[in-house]
Amino acid sequence: MKHVRLGIIGLGVMGQVHARNILEGKVPRLRLAAVADSDPARLAKYAPLPGFTSARELIASGLVDAVLIATPHYHHTDTGIAALSAGLHLLVEKPISVQRADCERLMAAHTDRRLVFAAMFNQRSDPLYRKLRDLVHGGGLGKIHRVQWTVTDWFRPQVYYSLSAWRATWAGEGGGVLLNQCPHNLDLFSWIFGQPQRVRGFCGFGRYHDIEVEDDVTAFFELADGATATFIASTGEAPGTNRLEVVAENGRVVAEDRTLRFTQNRVPTAKFSRTTKAPFSLPPTRERVFAFKDTGLQHVAVLRNFADAILRDAPLIAPAAEGIRSVELANGILLSSWTNKPVQLPLDSALYARWLKRKIAASPRTRRLVAR
């Protein structure tokens, strides 16, 4: 094949962004071959492309080699399983599923390893986060002691939550800021620092909005090597902050405003502490600044990589199997908040499923969704 025939399932905001990128020629090895959406008006925008009112019709059409799923969260799992079972390559928008149990079902369907299965974690293409990951994994920072990430620049007014009946409900979306806005941040955390072993979460449910899901989060993570982290997120604060601070043996890195500032110890902290004779001294430092003008190619980068993985066996930027980590972190924070105690990872997916089922059953918004 010289190109991949792609079908997009779900023509909401992100589905249309992906379609536009492909139709504008930004992904030369992908050809938009078909689209699917339950809304005929959305399909009409892409005529004369073949359009289907259901995902299964598109999957069974024989017109595509691969599909990109950009539907509401709960549809990702079953639609993804249907695509993989039909022998199609698969790219899934974030989060790959709502809960770990669904992720496990989706991963179990990927039995044909010839099929490329990727997740739309476009922030992994951002040169700032790639540089930070290189500093961590390359040993430039030494042993990590503490990470603190405040990401509260996700402000959403009440009207945002009124755009769709499924939004910000347990039955329709499966969560709030953790499942909608923060999958990228949680994925980056795991990608850069590794998956925590234990999580303690404190969530505000409808703290700032008339919604039932979390719109305010403070979480504490314990990592395998003894490092600790705090993660703070909200859709109710303005002006918001996006500041990631990493304290390590060789100094401190702060990521903020498209800049990495590395205050580098000329002598590692522990060595200086053992050897200095001055009781109030600090290790001498030097400042290294890395500025980044843009955020990289983002969605286009993942789409190009997806095509190259299919046609040229290129390694994936974001294998779908890694997508379970951000879902697990979100689930763990919520479960900890619901039970008011720490949660060990790997998550007990059956326990979380039972809790989520209770939340859905107890929700008055669930009854309104069903009535529709």
> Which residue has 């305010």 as its token pair?
216
* Mean pLDDT for all residues in the chain: 96
CB-CB contact of 187 with 96 (8 Å): no
Q: What is the pLDDT of residues 48-80, one digit of tens each?
A: 999 999 999 999 999 999 999 999 999 999 999
**CA-angle at 140, arms to 137 and 143, nearest 5°:** 75
155 shares a domain with 285: yes
pLDDT attached to residue 179: 96
User: Which range has the worst mean pLDDT, 127-136, 161-170, 203-212, 214-223?
Assistant: 161-170
Residue 84 within a domain? yes
- Torsion (CA) 184, 185, 188, 194 in degrees, nearest 10: -130
Identify residue 132 by its one-letter amino acid code: L
262 shares a domain with 215: yes
119 shares a domain with 136: no
pLDDT attached to residue 1: 78
Calculate mean pLDDT across residues 362-368. 78
The Cα–Cα gap between 69 and 314 comes to 21
**CA dist list (Å): 69 to 72, 133, 218, 314, 363:** 9, 28, 30, 21, 27
- Is it the case that residue 183 has pLDDT exceeding 70? yes
The Cα–Cα gap between 173 and 151 comes to 21
pLDDT attached to residue 236: 98
Q: What is the pLDDT of residues 244-303, one digit of tens each?
A: 999 999 999 999 999 999 999 999 999 999 999 999 999 999 999 999 999 999 999 999
pLDDT attached to residue 60: 98
Helix runs in the chain, H state only? 13-23, 40-44, 55-60, 75-85, 100-108, 127-137, 158-161, 183-193, 269-275, 299-312, 323-339, 349-362, 364-371
129 shares a domain with 276: yes
CATH, residue 173:
3.30.360.10
- Is it the case that residue 142 has pLDDT exceeding 60? yes
303 shares a domain with 263: no
Split at pLDDT 50, 70, 90, the class of 322 is: very high
Residue 164 within a domain? yes
**CA-angle at 344, arms to 270 and 118, nearest 5°:** 95
pLDDT attached to residue 364: 86
The Cα–Cα gap between 169 and 175 comes to 7
- Sequence-distant (≥ 6) Cβ neighbours of residue 233 within 8 angstroms: 151, 152, 154, 177, 178, 181, 182, 185, 216, 217
The Cα–Cα gap between 166 and 208 comes to 18
- Is it the case that residue 367 has pLDDT exceeding 90? no
The Cα–Cα gap between 120 and 186 comes to 13
Calculate mean pLDDT across residues 93-99. 97
The Cα–Cα gap between 58 and 76 comes to 15
Identify residue 299 by its one-letter amino acid code: H
pLDDT attached to residue 369: 60
Residue 372 within a domain? no
- Is it the case that residue 34 has pLDDT exceeding 60? yes
Split at pLDDT 50, 70, 90, the class of 365 is: confident
Domain extent at residue 335: 124-295+326-367
pLDDT attached to residue 166: 85
**Total number of domains in the chain:** 2
Nearest to 334 by CA among 180, 217, 229, 237: 217
The Cα–Cα gap between 183 and 66 comes to 23
Reduce the secondary structure of 214-236 to three states and give it as a string: EEEEEEEEECCCCCEEEEEEECC
Phi, psi dihedrals of residue 267, rounded to the nearest 5°? -130, 130
202 shares a domain with 131: yes
Calculate mean pLDDT across residues 332-353. 98
Burial call 30-45: b when 16+ CB within 10 Å, e when fewer:
bbbbbbbbeeeebbee
